[in-house]
Amino acid sequence: MSVQVMGLQEWLHTVNSENWHWYIKRLSGNDTGSTGTHQVGFYIPNDTVFYLFPTLDSKEIKNPDAFFQASVDSHQRPAHEVRAVYYNNRFTEEDKKKNRNEARITRWKSGDSDSPLQNASNTGSLILCAFEKEGSKKDSTLVKVWVCKDAKEEELLEEVVGRIYPGENLFSQSTDFSGGIPPLPDTGKIRNLKIPDLWKETFPTGVELVQYTFDLDKSLIKLPPDKRLVKRRELEFKLFRQIEDSHLLPKISSGFSSVEDFIKLANSVSNRRKSRGGRSLELHLEQIFKEEGFNKFSTQAVTEGKKKPDFLFPSEKDYHNPSFPEKHLRMLAVKTTCKDRWRQVINEANRIGCCHLFTLQEGVSENQFHEMQASGVTLVVPESYISKYPKSVQKQLITLESFIAELKDLYA
């Protein structure tokens, strides 16, 4: 079947064998070039690139590279030559000040001036790169890429590979995704973790996991709100992985008495992973609001009809009080990614003309940002994420800390 008439589901079957390895991530602003930095091409972790291109694993040769063929099948782009390069300046004495130690795949525009991978409008898009590789000592010679074009394609892909959040990447042999329980991104482990005895029998709820995270490292409360949120999210994911391993590994090792039993387990794992992400972010934000001494908000409040904004300020009662000034009402929507989902928040509270949207997405295009502005959406992002957005919009972004300060001033 030709690429022109092939859908994502059919395409996945063509790149699913022992010779294919999948690398999955969401494109950041630095990947697509929307930030205007000198970096060209998308980032790929060193361990991954060294596995795919063993010849690049060198600190003696300055910036070793490898050329191979690449096609973007989602957009019917024919194969052309691209470059995998390991920038190892950190280990080259004369270039120590440059301090680079990262790998990228570049030259996407060399055969396609309108490459989807270098198109700012695709910032935040979920992509799958299928590398063909024969033998552990040989470099990959071909990569086929699918850039999801809309939320429906992203949902279809995540049904196969699991949820992929901004900043995460997943690399594994394609056949690892065919067993019903896809691998998770590698996050490392929490040392000396003591899992409550009850959790060894019954998997904790999302609320229990997040609450336990707060107690795992109490020193994090000393960090500014933005850093605290990011660090705690990382810690929570490590906790989730270790608890999941403690549940899954014994069951997988002991085997299954029927196919139905395995399918039941796989479905339960999939559902648990899906339900963890979005609600988790809301719970982290709620905790930080309280830690910062701010308690004037309602969560999952009902506005008009069945609309339920994530956070309503100062309260649901005030929102429904006609005499309460509309200029003193605020709404915060929470979306881990916002590329195709930001429009969902526009009409969640009719009395609030300008709503705030907290996201972990690593950048948006200038056009999309201005479209959000015109629709009355103000982006709130962690302070460390601001550099991932176009320079022209960075000063118009709000950090979590500044958003909390604004609320405190409003309701003082």
Longest dimension (CA), the chain: 72
Q: How many independent structural domains does the chain possess?
A: 3
177, 209, 224: which is the final residue of a domain?
A: 177
Same domain, 31 and 128: yes
Q: Is 372 a domain residue?
A: yes
Enclosing domain of residue 383: 298-410
* pLDDT, position 253: 79
> Of 146, 177, 208, which residue is a domain's last?
177
Share above pLDDT 90 across residues of the chain, in percent, rounded to a whole number: 66
330 and 240 in one domain?
Answer: no
CB neighbours (10 Å) of residue 32?
24
Which pLDDT does position 350 carry in this prediction?
Answer: 94
The answer, yes or no, to whether residue 383 has pLDDT greater than 80, is yes
Over 70: is that where the pLDDT of 241 sits?
Answer: yes
Q: Which two tokens stand for residue 124?
A: 């935040």
131 strand-pairing partners: 21, 143
Kindly state the average pLDDT of the residues 184-190: 83
Q: Is there a single domain that holds both residue 19 and residue 110?
A: yes
Tell me which of 202-216, 249-263, 279-293, 386-400 is least confident: 249-263
For residue range 308-367, list pLDDT tens digits in order: 999 999 999 999 999 999 999 999 999 999 998 999 999 999 999 999 999 999 999 999
More reliable by pLDDT, 349 or 201: 349
Do residues 262 and 127 both lie within one domain?
A: no
Residue 412 has a pLDDT of 85
Residues 80 and 167 in one domain: yes
pLDDT at 125: 95
Contact (Cβ atoms closer than 8 angstroms) between residue 141 and residue 78: no
In this prediction, residues 213-220 reach a mean pLDDT of: 93
pLDDT at 181: 79
40 & 138 share domain = yes
What pLDDT, on the 0 to 100 scale, is given for residue 4?
47
Does residue 305 share a domain with residue 265?
no
Higher pLDDT, 402 or 181: 402
Question: For residue 111, what pLDDT is reported?
Answer: 66
Assigned domain for 83 exists? yes
- Asked, for residue 330, whether it belongs to a domain, the answer is yes
What integer pLDDT is reported at residue 254 of this predicted model?
80
Per-residue pLDDT, 1: 41
Q: Is the domain of 332 the same as that of 231?
A: no
In this prediction, residue 94 carries a pLDDT of 65
- Is 314 found in the same domain as 201? no
- The active-site residue out of 86, 165, 319, 389 is 319
Confidence of residue 3 (pLDDT cuts 50, 70, 90): very low
CA 176 to CA 161: how far, in whole Å?
9
Looking at per-residue pLDDT, the higher value among 111 and 115 belongs to 115
For residue 5, is pLDDT > 70?
no
- Percent of the chain at pLDDT > 70 equals 95
Cα 268 from Cα 270, distance rounded (Å): 5
Burial of 89 (0-12, 13-18, 19+ CB in 10 A): middle
For 257, the 3-state DSSP assignment is coil
In a domain, 136, yes or no: yes
Does 340 lie in the same domain as 201? no
Name the pTM for this structure: 0.89
Please indicate, yes or no, if residue 259 is contained in any of the structural domains.
yes
Q: Which pLDDT does position 2 carry in this prediction?
A: 44
Of the candidates 408, 412, 409, 402, the residue with the CA atom closest to the CA atom of residue 294: 408
Mean pLDDT is lowest, of 79-93, 224-238, 372-386, for 79-93
Same domain (yes/no): 266, 360: no
The model's pLDDT over 116-152, given as tens digits with 9 standing for 90+, comes to 998 999 999 999 999 999 888 899 999 999 999 999 9
Single out the residue in 277, 311, 344 at which a domain terminates: 277
CATH number (domain holding residue 402): 3.40.91.80
Q: What is the pLDDT of residue 147?
A: 96
Is residue 288 predicted with pLDDT exceeding 80? yes
Of the pLDDT bands very low, low, confident and very high (cuts 50, 70, 90), residue 263 is confident
Categorize the per-residue pLDDT at 85 as very low, low, confident or very high, splitting at 50, 70 and 90. Answer: very high
Q: Are 108 and 41 in contact (CB under 8 A)?
A: yes
Residue 186's pLDDT band (boundaries 50, 70, 90)? confident
Asked if pLDDT for residue 214 goes beyond 80, the answer is yes
Mean pLDDT of the chain: 90
In-domain check, residue 289? no
Taking alpha carbons only, the member of 207, 129, 138, 214 closest to residue 174 is 129
Give the CATH number for residue 116. 2.40.330.10
Q: Which two tokens stand for residue 79?
A: 């194969």
Active site residue 411: no
DSSP-derived pairing of the beta strands 330-335 and 311-313:
antiparallel
Once rounded to an integer, what is the mean pLDDT over residues 183-203? 86
pLDDT confidence band for 381 (50 / 70 / 90): very high
Q: Do 38 and 125 lie in a common domain?
A: yes
Residue 393 pLDDT exceeds 80: yes
Q: What is the 3-state secondary structure (H, E, C) of 285-345?
A: HHHHHHHCCCCCCEECCCCCCCCCCCEEECCHHHHCCCCCCHHHCEEEEEECCCCCCHHHH
Residue 397 domain-assigned (yes or no): yes
Q: Give the pLDDT band of residue 98 (cuts 50, 70, 90).
A: low
